Structure 1
Amino acid sequence: MVKIIIIFLLIFITYSQSQEINTLFNCTFDSGPVDDCTFQRILSPADSLDIDIGQSLTADSIGSPDRPLSDATSVFSPTMEGEMCQFPYYLNGWDMYFCLYQESIQNYTCPTNLGNQTCIRGQYAYKTTSDPNGFAEIYKSVTTITINSTDEDQCLSFYYYFTNSFREPSISFRMSATLNTSNSQNIVIVKPSNANKWYYNQTTFRVTPDEYSFMIDFYRAEDLNDTTNFTFAIDNISIINGPCSYVFNDSITTDGLIFTEPTTISSTTTLSDISTTTRKCKKIVFINNIGIFIFTKSVLAKNLALALGLSLGLGIPALVTIIVIAVYVVKFVL
């Protein structure tokens, strides 16, 4: 039965590889404001998005942070030792969903099944405001995106963060033609959820052929009695040719540990979902940053849909690599 499932999986992956996927836009912010990660404020081109590795907490901190303590890659990727972080963990009276900076070792760590381990370090972009009159700013990518086809979908994926839900904050993503300014299309608008953590969104969209700038709008309503710090943050933005159902997260930008159901156009995945999934695995093998989940026989038999979803959500390595892994699993692991 297990061998039949693996053969079916290989056939499905081979079919999926026939779908041509090209990356149109890719930004992790890890190298700073370069290439696709260069954004300028519309009303003041000299102003750009702030970029940072994260924020440190003081020892006596009793509240959740007002911006991410670490970037999305550090949270959703295996540690330097290959284990998954166990989120949330309890810290000073609140649930923590970030890697924590440790002054003693001058690095970011998180708890795992094998104790505290070192997180992969990256950067993210953000804007912090305390203006009681509200906040409404638009940032435009310096690099342009050329769309040539009239009947082809694109997939936008990204991570996002809000300090809280006070004053109706939102982040909008849209495409605006560089020459025909009236040709502008909203892709998706995201709003806060309850937890103070990174969230993931994946949205399929289609625009007419043209040359576009990628636009990000930050909005927060006014409240003259509120002057507390509030942060919008974004990370690992990717636009790929093809609908999101065909995107199997083949890079660190569209992290392999996060995926949506093929029928879902826009969705959010939580850390607890991922932690539960990884605990059901016998092991995770990483080849060239691509994770291959290896399930026990009992889990594979009872959770076929989950196994297929994870395996397809973790990238498309070369077919020969898939075959080698399948043979290894059947002969030596299961």
Structure 2
Amino acid sequence: MNATTATTTGTPTLQTVMLNEAVEMVWDLDDRWGIVPPAAHEELRGDLQTLLTVAGGFTVATKTGNTAAIENVGQLVTHQKQLIAALSGVATKHVTDDLVTEEATPVHHWRNLVLVVVIAAAASYRSSTAAIDELVKGAPRLTTCTISERRPFTDVEVLLMRSYVAATYRPGDRSASVYALVDAGMTPGETTKVTLDDIDDIDDLDELDDLEYSSVPYIHAPGNEHVVARYLGLDRFGKRVLGAHNRHAFSGQRRPPMTAQLTYIPRKNLPGSKEATSSAQNVISNLLKHLGLWHADTTASSLTQWRIQSEWKSHGTELALEVSGRHSLPQMCEALKVEPAAVRRTAPGRGDFNVPD
């Protein structure tokens, strides 16, 4: 595969980071923040190896002859569109076009995974948020992936969002905590009613080894007119972000009351109100737009959908229903835009809500 771009951009620091080192930095970021969805570890390892293999076959024409084009992250930034094309099988000139789902799906997958590698490399050198934002801005902007009215996010899309949150996190970052709450399975509106008293006591922020589902801390989801109150288990990422938020909240000289809102600061709108819900939705929507994940088939609720689908695929329908907060399987399926029969027919670990057996 020959790329025709003759110059390499990117910061000097990224030009010194070899691509195989950058892949390891993805796993380093996972060690610190738990960014990789548990069910995606094996597939991700294979995909990252594929990325390295294909990148290793690139050459680029220069004044002194052909040379390897993608050996470091600076070169990856320069030639990412060509690499996405090679990985997806879609011509470079068509990567950002309107594509049928069969072509769009791999293009989205590889575009997002390339950006994860770039963000992880930048984070390893403690790059500023502004510098990381410039790298995000340089990623190809794609069109919608499917014809669905609303679909769950994929594991790689969630990985990208988690990577960005981890790489740009600062103490007391309420937007990061809103994201973590929805990532855990809450609807955006529910997050505005969560109080400090709703989160389980999380102290061991450095102990991020894989945990059994039954042993992770929980957070209370307060429910609303559509979903019932319930307890949601926090995975390593949720534990890391919300634990840091909890610790920061009690780090000042004046201890806040346990009834204080965790992320939402009411001014004139009550927690859980339509206006408060809109505020929480905007937090997620702004993240999606910034990362190039805002499309006709995705909304802030696609993140809640992802969590429910993830629990269903890993642990079965009963737990998915519990996490969703819906009163019945038909209600959950109606909210997820899927036929109940599809969920009943498809065993955990096979297919997804959009592609029933």
By the TM > 0.5 criterion, same fold? no
Name whichever structure is richer in strand by fraction: 1
Q: Give me the TM-score of the superposition, normalised by structure 1.
A: 0.23
With normalisation by structure 2, the TM-score equals 0.22
